Chain A
Amino acid sequence: MLRRLRAFALLALPLVSACWDNQELNSPDLSNNNGLFQRYAAIGTSISAGFQSAGINDSTQRRSFAFLVAQQGGAAFGYPSIFGRGCPAPFTNNVTQTRVGGGSASGCDLRSVPVPTTLNNVAVPGMQVVDVFSNTASAVSTYERLQTFFLGGQTPWNALKRTQPTFVSIELGANDVLGALLASGNPGNPDSITPIPVFESVYSEFADSVDGLDAAVVVATIPDVTVIPYASSGTIYWCLKNGVCPGVPANPAFANVTVSNACAPGTAIPGSKGDSILVPWTIGVAGVLASTQPPFTPFALDCANTAQVVTPEEFANMRNTTDALNQFIVSEATTRGWTVVDANAILAQLRATGQVPLFPDVSQVPTGGSVLFGPYFTLDGFHPSNATHAVIADSVIAAVNRDHGTSIPLVGP
């Protein structure tokens, strides 16, 4: 009997061991970040979203620093891809205002389908801090239009929380100051800057909320918008007109242009504060170019005219506000053990190459080309180019590698 049972067991053994093979997960390779990027959520402004040349489409979205960081980490990264020309389509020529595919400034092509099952990039162009928890707080028309299109009625916080992130990049605050520079009719308008107490209150609440997600976080500070090529100093205009500044010869394009002495540097005309005055290119360069084209309308730049320039007081307000907000952001991040990426260190790095022009390049305009802002800024004068996004992405990656012991490869030039 025992022999029979033993024989039966021997017969059964191969049958018992003949189990089926398990199929496998088809997960992305996150080995270079130890799984940190399992669920990466990016929240921010048009920079995180991938806005370039006054527009955004799938091509520019895939060049945002957030997309590049995710790509280098091997992470899945769902973003609100715009199908077709864009929403709006980016400039192809900022003088003639033509856009990709003949699109218009108010035009908006549809989202690509199928939409991503997980939306990792919840950045929305135009987002200010007050928009994080509310869909009706902001009066910025661009943000309003794109918020529904990008997040479908979710608040940015709810969209972020929905991803259950393991890693978050936060790039907020630029629009809380930049709005002043972009304000038409009164550049530098202090009413377009988010009051510091309001910013701090909402940002702090937001930081507390993100802290509760138990995710690794990297925070970018607010870039100093007074040094981007969107606006040039009053001094530059005065020098280009008069040709008396070392290294700045007179520009023939200024033949039909008058520049008030209020634009002069204090070293040339005592009491002038041209170095602390900013002239948006949409006012200054546009006026200069118009004076060179039929009907050759003379252009008068008056640096005492607040409708044309950012005054020294407004300039100081923007700078001081940026500094104060950045101190607050760094404090909030440091307290929570978050990684900080200094946007102004990146700007300084770019300016050190000498390729951030003090005055836009208008040499191609006579032959039908665009006003150019160097290799690091796109045709709107303030959104970063592909090259800059790569620099930003590498700054983020280097900081993450340093603070989290990961080995994510850099994007490189």
Chain B
Amino acid sequence: MRRFGVSLVLVLTAVLAWPETSYAQGYGVYEQSACTTGRGGTAAASPCGDGSAIYFNPAGIAGRAFSGSIGGTLIAPSATFVNDNTGLESDFLAKVYPVPNLYISGPIADRYAVGLGVFVPYGLTTEWDKDTFEGRFLGYRSTVRAIYIQPTVAAKFGKVKVGAGLDITSLHLKLQRKADLSQVVVPNPALPPGTTFGALGIPYGTDFADTEISGDAWGVGYNVGIIYEVNEKLTLGARYLSRQKITTDNADATFVQDPTGLVLTGGNPFGLPAGTPIDALVAGQFQPGGLLVDQKASSGLRLPDQLVVGVTVRPVTQLALHFDAQRTWWTVFDQVPIDFAESDALDQALELGAKNVWTWRFGGEYTLSGDSQTVLRGGLIFHKGALPDSSVTPLLPEGNRTDFTVGVGTRIARSFYIDAAYMYVNQADRRGRTVPLTIAETNGLYKDQHAHLFGVTLTYDF
């Protein structure tokens, strides 16, 4: 019990100090264990012994000794957008994103086990230069972070193990973008309805406001799994992570005026004196009674469900070959609504039109002879992109991916085991846009999209 008490403190500390998460396919993050990462993310049939079975297949904690693990993955993504017409390029900001995880599990009777895991199966941060990136009006920084806290129970009945966990989810959303004055409707009843500042000459891409929408919410889901140890050479497994719909009415929307530096000449279509700065024209919108005042907003996100089925084959004792097929129901991620409490004119819905996709994972492990229990790992992953071209934006420049992994695990002391892994993500060049859909479905190419991932997990066997 004392062990669990200490572990609970660790969990709470990790949650409170949780950093932002990473660039990922869709916005799924599968790298929740260095052992699993090293073997291509395969874990449905034979989860690793670091407790990460809590996420990958809850049934996997049954029949294992007490263990606690803490780990993390550093993710260094890169991507470039090239405009079709101008040929100008913009790059992701060069940053490294940490994704920690924490698991503790152990038996409570002959056939039962319990555990607690804290992990982030859905998370995303994309960052571009806020002042120069041409897509900054769709978003220059976006963060999605869904932290799952999952108490888990499992049981072993002969060759069959079953497990289930309750996912208590903390969702954080943050979207930062610039506002383009040329797209804003002029508040002047003398003009035809819908007349924008662009129709009066304001050029496309005129920054006049920096906006941020940020909110947190809680949700609940579940995670269930089953493992069938057919014989010592063959194991089958399956796991289902439920979908969740999480909404918040308490998001904060803030607006800061950006100076445009534009000055009107005489005879301008606004009827204002020569020399009038355009900033004076819109300043009132940032004052009480204006549209762009700090206010509350509501938004939400659907976290898709996942089904993974897997098989492990052990042709010889030292060699294990794994295969997982994962289906993710991204169609639930069809829209991200944003409703402003005081400015209905700003309400919008980010339409995505995602589709359900398959992921194919292949992995292998080879245990070296000796007492160190050293294991060498390798893996290969094929992901299909979930979004149509028109939804590939700076917020989510995802696409088809091929990932390569290598890893190693070894015992470093009587009760300590360490796993390390490296993953190289190679995403195919993907057409997308940095402009509103009213202008074009796509206007360029997201290319050279790669990521380097380095994961480490330290496991303590009680």
Which of A1, A108, A114, A143 gathers the greatest number of chain B CB atoms within 10 Å? Answer: A114
Indicate if the CB atoms of B380 and A148 lie closer than 8 Å.
Answer: no
Tell me, in angstroms, the Cα distance from A118 to B87 when the chains sit together: 12
Indicate if the CB atoms of A111 and B201 lie closer than 8 Å.
Answer: yes
Minimum C-beta distance from B257 to chain A (A): 16
Indicate if the CB atoms of A149 and B85 lie closer than 8 Å.
Answer: no
**Those of A121-177 within 8 Å (CB) of chain B:** 135-136, 141, 143-145, 147-154, 159, 162-164
Tell me, in angstroms, the Cα distance from A153 to B268 when the chains sit together: 9
Interface presence of B402 (CB below 8 A): yes
Chain B residue numbers with a CB within 8 Å of A147 are 265
- Taking a contact as CB atoms closer than 8 A, the residue among B201, B315, B401, B442 that contacts A4 in the complex is B315
Minimum C-beta distance from A135 to chain B (A): 5
Which of A4, A38, A111, A159 gathers the greatest number of chain B CB atoms within 10 Å? Answer: A111
Indicate if the CB atoms of A19 and B428 lie closer than 8 Å.
Answer: yes
Q: By DSSP majority rule, is chain B's interface helix, strand, loop, or mixed? A: loop
- Taking a contact as CB atoms closer than 8 A, the residue among A12, A16, A141, A152 that contacts B203 in the complex is A152
Interface size of B as a range: 35 or more
- Taking a contact as CB atoms closer than 8 A, the residue among A28, A83, A111, A117 that contacts B443 in the complex is A117
Say whether, besides A20-B400, A136-B274, A159-B203, A113 and B198 are in contact (CB < 8 Å).
yes
Minimum C-beta distance from B426 to chain A (A): 7
Indicate if the CB atoms of B265 and A136 lie closer than 8 Å.
Answer: yes
Interface presence of B362 (CB below 8 A): yes
Say whether, besides A113-B199, A115-B204, A136-B265, A164 and B435 are in contact (CB < 8 Å).
no
Chain A residue numbers with a CB within 8 Å of B262 are 152-154
Interface presence of A10 (CB below 8 A): no
Chain A residue numbers with a CB within 8 Å of B270 are 148
Chain A residue numbers with a CB within 8 Å of B390 are none
- Taking a contact as CB atoms closer than 8 A, the residue among A141, A151, A152, A159 that contacts B182 in the complex is A152
Per-residue CB contact flags for chain A residues 13-52 toward chain B (1 = under 8 Å, else 0) read: 0011011111111111000000000110000000000000
- Taking a contact as CB atoms closer than 8 A, the residue among B202, B266, B435, B442 that contacts A26 in the complex is B442
Q: Which residue of A lies closest to B87 (CB)?
A: A38
Say whether, besides A4-B315, A136-B265, A148-B268, A118 and B201 are in contact (CB < 8 Å).
no
Q: Which residue of B lies closest to A118 (CB)?
A: B86
Chain B residue numbers with a CB within 8 Å of A76 are 85-86
Which of A23, A24, A111, A150 gathers the greatest number of chain B CB atoms within 10 Å? Answer: A23
Interface presence of B260 (CB below 8 A): yes
Tell me, in angstroms, the Cα distance from A41 to B310 when the chains sit together: 58
Tell me, in angstroms, the Cα distance from A343 to B318 when the chains sit together: 84
Chain B residue numbers with a CB within 8 Å of A148 are 200-201, 264-265, 267-270
Per-residue CB contact flags for chain B residues 413-451 toward chain A (1 = under 8 Å, else 0) read: 000000000000010111100011011001111010000
Indicate if the CB atoms of A153 and B202 lie closer than 8 Å.
Answer: yes
Q: Which residue of B lies closest to A15 (CB)?
A: B380
Per-residue CB contact flags for chain A residues 370-390 toward chain B (1 = under 8 Å, else 0) read: 000000000000000000000
Interface presence of B109 (CB below 8 A): no
Q: Which residue of A lies closest to B443 (CB)?
A: A117
Task: Report how many residues on chain A are interfacial, defined by Cβ distance under 8 Å.
Answer: 51
Chain A residue numbers with a CB within 8 Å of B364 are 8
Tell me, in angstroms, the Cα distance from A243 to B67 when the chains sit together: 116
Interface presence of A116 (CB below 8 A): yes
Interface presence of A348 (CB below 8 A): no
Minimum C-beta distance from A30 to chain B (A): 9
- Taking a contact as CB atoms closer than 8 A, the residue among A28, A114, A163 that contacts B439 in the complex is A114
Chain A residue numbers with a CB within 8 Å of B204 are 114-119
Q: Which residue of A lies closest to B202 (CB)?
A: A152
Indicate if the CB atoms of A135 and B263 lie closer than 8 Å.
Answer: yes
Chain A residue numbers with a CB within 8 Å of B289 are none
Tell me, in angstroms, the Cα distance from A20 to B268 when the chains sit together: 53
Tell me, in angstroms, the Cα distance from A111 to B201 when the chains sit together: 7
**Those of B33-66 within 8 Å (CB) of chain A:** none
Indicate if the CB atoms of B201 and A27 lie closer than 8 Å.
Answer: no
Interface presence of B275 (CB below 8 A): yes
Q: Which residue of A lies closest to B430 (CB)?
A: A23
**Those of A74-131 within 8 Å (CB) of chain B:** 76, 80, 83, 108, 110-119
Interface presence of B319 (CB below 8 A): yes
**Those of B252-280 within 8 Å (CB) of chain A:** 260, 262-270, 274-275, 278
Indicate if the CB atoms of A110 and B264 lie closer than 8 Å.
Answer: no
- Taking a contact as CB atoms closer than 8 A, the residue among A18, A19, A144 that contacts B265 in the complex is A144
Interface presence of B343 (CB below 8 A): no
**Those of B374-390 within 8 Å (CB) of chain A:** 380, 382, 389
Say whether, besides A25-B84, A151-B203, A144 and B267 are in contact (CB < 8 Å).
yes
Tell me, in angstroms, the Cα distance from A24 to B445 when the chains sit together: 7
Minimum C-beta distance from A26 to chain B (A): 5
- Taking a contact as CB atoms closer than 8 A, the residue among A22, A118, A144, A159 that contacts B266 in the complex is A144
Interface presence of B410 (CB below 8 A): no
Chain B residue numbers with a CB within 8 Å of A111 are 198-201
Q: Which residue of B lies closest to A112 (CB)?
A: B199
Chain A residue numbers with a CB within 8 Å of B263 are 135-136, 153
Indicate if the CB atoms of B205 and A27 lie closer than 8 Å.
Answer: no
Tell me, in angstroms, the Cα distance from A150 to B84 when the chains sit together: 24
Minimum C-beta distance from A22 to chain B (A): 4
Chain B residue numbers with a CB within 8 Å of A4 are 315-316, 319
Interface presence of B17 (CB below 8 A): no
Chain B residue numbers with a CB within 8 Å of A159 are 203
Which of B204, B205, B444 gathers the greatest number of chain A CB atoms within 10 Å? Answer: B204
Chain A residue numbers with a CB within 8 Å of B198 are 111, 113-115
Which of A116, A117, A150, A153 gathers the greatest number of chain B CB atoms within 10 Å? Answer: A153
Indicate if the CB atoms of B264 and A153 lie closer than 8 Å.
Answer: yes
Minimum C-beta distance from B79 to chain A (A): 13
- Taking a contact as CB atoms closer than 8 A, the residue among A39, A108, A153, A162 that contacts B260 in the complex is A153
Interface presence of B356 (CB below 8 A): no
Tell me, in angstroms, the Cα distance from A147 to B275 when the chains sit together: 12
Indicate if the CB atoms of A39 and B86 lie closer than 8 Å.
Answer: yes
Q: Which residue of A lies closest to B321 (CB)?
A: A8
Interface presence of B142 (CB below 8 A): no
Chain B residue numbers with a CB within 8 Å of A154 are 203, 262
Interface presence of B82 (CB below 8 A): yes
Q: Which residue of A lies closest to B262 (CB)?
A: A153
Chain A residue numbers with a CB within 8 Å of B430 are 23
Minimum C-beta distance from B446 to chain A (A): 9
Chain A residue numbers with a CB within 8 Å of B94 are none
Indicate if the CB atoms of B202 and A16 lie closer than 8 Å.
Answer: no
Q: Give 30 CB contacts A-B under 8 Å.
A: A12-B362, A15-B380, A15-B382, A20-B399, A20-B402, A23-B431, A25-B84, A26-B84, A26-B442, A27-B85, A111-B200, A111-B201, A115-B203, A115-B204, A117-B205, A117-B435, A118-B204, A135-B263, A136-B275, A144-B267, A147-B265, A148-B264, A149-B201, A149-B268, A150-B201, A152-B197, A154-B203, A159-B203, A163-B86, A164-B88
B residues bordering A, Cβ < 8 Å?
Answer: 82, 84-88, 134, 182, 192, 195-206, 260, 262-270, 274-275, 278, 315-316, 319, 321, 362, 364, 380, 382, 389, 399-402, 426, 428-431, 435-436, 438-439, 442-445, 447
